[in-house]
Amino acid sequence: MRCRAATGIALIALLFAFAACGGGSESSQAAKRHDDPRPERVSAADAADKPNVIFIYTDDQNLADFKARYMPQTFKLLTGPGTQFSDFIVATPLCCPSRATYITGDYPHNDGVFSNPSGYSHLTDKFNTLQVWMHNAGYRTAWVGKYLQGYEEGVPDPFKAAPGNDDWHATFDPVYYDYDIADNGAAVHHGSKPRDYYTNV
């Protein structure tokens, strides 16, 4: 389906906050697909000249809901100095395959994720993602919010960051209370009090 404006808030909010910096070692496992050129790492000096990038991704939202009448100050802060993607194609209406398309730049038949259950285990190349590309380009990357379904079953320790993420604050359970959040390798539990409500955290 073709869309004419940026999408806004819904079940997930995935935030990439890239603050320019260098450093960090590359994983020897970070092999790219043979048909994609591998991005080269840049120096900290070169990275300092790059802009910060914050990408907010949502799903299950009506395009008409992304208007200034909802949270007008937030809308202004996000859209005023930023870029809105006004002409884009959503490859699939399912949330996990759509997120996989976003982080790989591939259609589902190329990235391997066709459905929500066990999405991460079907991801064809886990080291050929936006986070890895940005990290290799000298950005400090962060993931906040829901990652691909099945990540927690597909890796030995889901509280450790997925490839390319310098900061990792991912959630895995589709619940609003009594859940764990990854905090850079540690599990932080949130219970059933009002302050623990998922969208407040």
Active site positions, annotated: 95
User: Measured between alpha carbons, how far is residue 6 from residues 57, 59, 68, 78 in Å?
Assistant: 9, 11, 12, 11
**How far is residue 143's CA from residue 13's CA, in Å, rounded to a whole number?**
10
Contacts 24+ apart (CB under 8 A), 94-99: 95/11, 95/12, 95/59, 95/60, 96/148, 96/149, 96/150, 98/59, 99/12, 99/14, 99/57, 99/59, 99/147, 99/148
Structure tokens at 170: 């991912």
